[in-house]
Chain A
Amino acid sequence: MNKKRWEQEYPKMPSAFHLAVQEAVERQGNREKQGSAAEQKCAAEQESIVKPGNRKHGKRSRRFYLFAAAAVLLFGGITAIAGVAGKKVIFREELELENYENLEEAFQSDISVKVEEDVRLPKQAYTDKEYREWLTSWEKRENNLPLLDIREVMFDGMRLSVYAVPTQEGKKYSLEVLEMYINGVYKAPVDCFDNAGEQDYYIFTLDDVNGFTAEDDKNLQNLQMQTQDAILQTPFEVTLCVRAYASGKRYENQDLTFTVSTDAQLKPLADQEFVFSDYTVKVTELQRSMTSLKGKVSVEMTEEQKEAYEKGERKLCGLLFTNKDGTAWKRGLSVSEEEARQSHYNAGNLQWYFHKQIPEDAGDTVMLYLMAYEKTAEGEKFDFFDMGNCFGEGMEVKLKED
Chain B
Amino acid sequence: MDKNTFGKLVLDNEVQLYRIAKAILKRDEDCADAAQEAITRAFEKLHTLKQDAYAKTWLIRILIRECYRILEQRSKEAAFQENQSVQVSESEDYGSLYQALAALEPEFRITLVLYYLEGFQIQEISAMLEIPEGTVKSRLHRGRKKLKKLLSEEERQ
Interface size counted on chain B using CB atoms at 8 A: 70
Q: Given the known inter-chain contacts A5-B97, A10-B97, A43-B44, please indicate yes or no for A52 contacting B69, CB distance below 8 A.
A: yes
CB neighbors of B among A320-361 (8 A)? 334-337, 339, 342-343, 345
Contact B132 A189 (CB under 8 A): yes
Contact A9 B14 (CB under 8 A): no
CB A5 to nearest CB in B, in angstroms, measures 6
Complex Cα gap A128–B99 (Å): 31
Contact B28 A1 (CB under 8 A): no
Contact A17 B123 (CB under 8 A): no
Q: Given the known inter-chain contacts A6-B97, A6-B117, A9-B97, please indicate yes or no for A21 contacting B39, CB distance below 8 A.
A: yes
Contact A10 B135 (CB under 8 A): no
Q: Which residue of A14, A18, A342 contacts B121 across the interface (Cβ within 8 Å)? A: A342
Q: Which residue of B40, B123, B130, B144 contacts A339 across the interface (Cβ within 8 Å)? A: B123
Q: Which residue of B7, B121, B134 contacts A193 across the interface (Cβ within 8 Å)? A: B134
Complex Cα gap A348–B7 (Å): 27
Q: Given the known inter-chain contacts A134-B69, A334-B133, please indicate yes or no for A192 contacting B138, CB distance below 8 A.
A: yes
Residue B18 CB within 8 A of the other chain: yes
Complex Cα gap A29–B134 (Å): 40
Contact B116 A6 (CB under 8 A): yes
Q: Which residue of A11, A25, A137, A334 contacts B98 across the interface (Cβ within 8 Å)? A: A11
Q: Given the known inter-chain contacts A17-B32, A196-B141, please indicate yes or no for A343 contacting B104, CB distance below 8 A.
A: no
Contact A134 B72 (CB under 8 A): yes
Closest to B134 in A: A191
Contact A194 B134 (CB under 8 A): no
CB neighbors of B among A30-58 (8 A)? 31-32, 43, 46, 50, 52
Chain B contact residues, CB within 8 Å of chain A: 3-4, 7, 10-11, 14-15, 17-19, 22, 28-29, 31-33, 35-37, 39-41, 43-44, 53, 64-66, 68-69, 71-72, 75-76, 79, 83, 85-86, 94-98, 103-105, 107, 112-113, 116-117, 119, 121-124, 130-135, 137-139, 141-142, 144-146
Q: 28 A-B residue contacts at CB 8 Å?
A: A1-B112, A3-B119, A9-B97, A10-B97, A10-B98, A10-B117, A11-B98, A13-B15, A17-B31, A17-B35, A20-B32, A21-B10, A29-B4, A50-B69, A52-B69, A130-B66, A137-B72, A137-B79, A190-B132, A190-B135, A192-B134, A192-B138, A248-B85, A248-B86, A248-B103, A339-B121, A339-B123, A343-B121
Q: A9-B98, A28-B40 are in contact. List 6 more A-B contacts (CB 8 A).
A: A10-B117, A21-B17, A128-B65, A174-B142, A191-B134, A339-B133
